[in-house]
Chain A
Amino acid sequence: MKQLARRRSLAALALCSPLILLIVCLKIYPTFYAVFLSMLDRKMNNFVGFDNFAFMISRPSFQLVIFQSVLFAVTAVILKAFLGFVLAHLMHNIRGRNERVWRGLLLVPWVIPLSLSTLTWWWLFDPSYSAFNWTLNMLGFEDIAFLGTVWNARLSVIAVNVWFGAPFFMIMYLAALKSVPEQLYEAASIDGATAVQRLFFITIPMMRNIILITVLYSLIVTFADFDIVRILTNGGPQDGTHLFATYAFVVGIQSGNIPRGATVSLFMFPILATLAFFVLRDVMKRNKEMA
């Protein structure tokens, strides 16, 4: 019996090994290599410890990148989660014959390759020939320089990210909503709950784990976002939209300072890892209690 169990787990290990190898090569090794790189000097000859980190933090231009990244990620994730939640509720409660069609259409932004759809947005935002400004002019409004001023560009970048990411939240929340037993709502309405109270006392607590996991996942992915800014603004105007990833690219690849680039890209890692640890621990605990 023991032998059989050992043979089975060996077989399992053998079958998983290609994936494990892939993860080791493409994830774990580069991560450690990046940590190693971030502790070297520009010529990559001497070990300098955390000097690169200390230097980066002291520079106002990088402080701006930190501010922009946090603004971008936090705002975008909150908006995506909220929009996804609202859309999921609409999909769940307004049931028609075309429900599947609508669901499919709402997923479109998420399925189109991001760089392609961002190019479309770039064209839509164009100051002279864009559909947005044309419409505004038709209605008698002035042109808006969507990508021309710092704050407009920041908001535009966030808007595109929300447009792209909200469907993911919608589909996750829709699945979560569908798994809440109808009888809980019935019991709650008999207990005296209004629609709003049912939302706060039943729906949200029942979806809490999914909400936490999607927000965490999306936060990590959004902090690492590269495509939108790279294509839409390339970090401008006046470096006003740079995120960690695009700034790391500029510093590390374009300016040739690989260790500083690695430092930039690793900046959020400890914070996000700690957040992930606590969120996942809480999710596991609640899973054990509830399901």
Chain B
Amino acid sequence: MANVSIRKVVKAYEGDVQAVKGIDLEIIDHEFVVLVGPSGCGKSTTLRMIAGLEEITAGEIWIGGDVVNDVPPRDRDIAMVFQNYALYPHMSVFDNMAFGLKLRKFPKEEIKRRVDEAATMLDIQMLLDRKPKALSGGQRQRVAMGRAVVRNPKVFLFDEPLSNLDAKLRVQMRTEIKKLHQLVPTTTVYVTHDQIEAMTLADRVVVMNHGVIEQVGAPQELYHHPATRFVAGFIGSPAMNFLPCQVIDDGGLKVQLADGTKMAIPAARVDRYGPYKGKKMTLGIRPEHMTETHDSEKPGVQIMNAKVDVVEPMGMETLVHHFVDGVAVCSRIDPNVQTGPGEILPLAIDMNNMHLIEDATNRVV
């Protein structure tokens, strides 16, 4: 087990296309770090550079106190779980799991002990004689994880391991991965494009976009205190609503939407937002902070009438889509509130949870 440290790492392809643009990241021993971002953001490239499957154009990668830039994958003491499992189709489950140990010339009894132990942990003991073809997607994924676990490597790398599974199995395997990390707390780097996977699994989430790191932080921190417009919009489902606005002083600091609607900024935030008076800004508000009016008496809550466009009952909540100042907006309301398309629904906007984004820098202020 080891720290992983990524220092000013750049990956450029032919024609000067930079997939990763000089990122820095310190991953401490035993930590579970998730790299998340949209397709093409450089997260998989970063993982593959840690694995040694891609060359590093510039910068350094350290694993356990050694620079590994020029160390081939086999000598990095890492294990990787691939999206499509990459199990050896001509080997039995046992041989798949034992392959790395056999190559490293472990004694037979030790190999058997380790494979049995991992198989028990992953509940695949009865599959050891089968070939990968005879396994279901979930079972294959477990074998791929078993192959990583038996080696007891310094670092686990996961490259979108749940993408090929159906929704139900994905949730189940997500829990299993988390459980596995609790049992075997090896330093883990996990890549996904699914922000829910990132939030549920990670000790720390690294949000990447266009080859740079937008923000690193604990899941709750990213959710409540996003640093940039991208993170604010990427983390959370349904996504945060963004409304163009201006900060004005109208007998107290307020945000004014383009259609003239004014909403008072809570007293606690006046100092923070004061300097942005008159600048072009964006108001960010999450759907759960635009909800039915049961706690409208709370200080900092504004009431707004919304003309309902679409209603989506989800069971434990209902999503209401409507327009504010011509911008499509989503609200999350109590499923017991009766409403339908075309109806006017009074919504309480909790300004205590507002976010203000400076348009010029795209940073949350």
Assuming the A-B contacts A191-B147, A202-B88, A290-B89, are A186 and B131 also in contact, with contact meaning beta carbons closer than 8 angstroms in the complex? no
Assuming the A-B contacts A193-B103, A290-B133, A291-B133, are A186 and B74 also in contact, with contact meaning beta carbons closer than 8 angstroms in the complex? no
Complex interface residues of chain B between 69 and 98 (CB less than 8 A to chain A): 72-74, 76, 78-80, 82, 84, 86-90
Whether, in the assembled complex, B223 has its beta carbon less than 8 Å from a beta carbon of chain A, the answer is no
Assuming the A-B contacts A201-B99, A290-B133, A291-B133, are A190 and B80 also in contact, with contact meaning beta carbons closer than 8 angstroms in the complex? yes
Are B74 and A191 interface neighbours, CB within 8 A? yes
Whether, in the assembled complex, A208 has its beta carbon less than 8 Å from a beta carbon of chain B, the answer is yes
Residue of B90, B147, B151 most packed against chain A (CB within 10 A) = B90
Whether, in the assembled complex, B135 has its beta carbon less than 8 Å from a beta carbon of chain A, the answer is no
Whether, in the assembled complex, A187 has its beta carbon less than 8 Å from a beta carbon of chain B, the answer is yes
CA distance A208 to B89 in the complex (A): 12
0/1 string, A187-215, CB within 8 A of B gives 1: 11111111001000110011010000000
CB contacts (< 8 Å) of A201 on chain B: these are: 88, 99
CA distance A187 to B87 in the complex (A): 8
CB contacts (< 8 Å) of B52 on chain A: these are: 189-190
CA distance A191 to B88 in the complex (A): 11
0/1 string, A252-264, CB within 8 A of B gives 1: 0000000000000
Are B84 and A192 interface neighbours, CB within 8 A? no
The total of chain B residues at the interface (CB under 8 A) is: 26
Assuming the A-B contacts A208-B90, A290-B89, are A190 and B78 also in contact, with contact meaning beta carbons closer than 8 angstroms in the complex? yes
- Interface size for chain A: under 10, 10 to 19, 20 to 34, or 35 or more residues? 20 to 34
Complex interface residues of chain B between 100 and 155 (CB less than 8 A to chain A): 100, 103-104, 131, 133-134, 147, 151
CA distance A186 to B144 in the complex (A): 13
Assuming the A-B contacts A206-B89, A289-B133, A290-B90, are A189 and B103 also in contact, with contact meaning beta carbons closer than 8 angstroms in the complex? no
Are A190 and B79 interface neighbours, CB within 8 A? yes
Assuming the A-B contacts A183-B86, A202-B88, A290-B89, are A189 and B72 also in contact, with contact meaning beta carbons closer than 8 angstroms in the complex? yes
Are A187 and B90 interface neighbours, CB within 8 A? no
Are A191 and B84 interface neighbours, CB within 8 A? no
CB contacts (< 8 Å) of A186 on chain B: these are: 51, 53, 73, 80, 82, 86
- Of the A-B pairs whose beta carbons lie under 8 Å apart in the complex, a sample of 23, sorted by A's number, is A183-B86, A186-B80, A187-B80, A187-B86, A188-B99, A189-B52, A189-B72, A189-B73, A190-B51, A190-B74, A190-B79, A190-B100, A191-B99, A191-B151, A192-B100, A192-B104, A205-B88, A206-B89, A206-B90, A289-B133, A290-B89, A290-B133, A291-B89
A residues adjacent to B (C-beta < 8 A): 181, 183-184, 186-194, 197, 201-202, 205-206, 208, 286, 289-291
Counting from the closest, the 5 A-B pairs by CB-CB distance are A191-B100, A183-B86, A187-B86, A192-B103, A192-B74
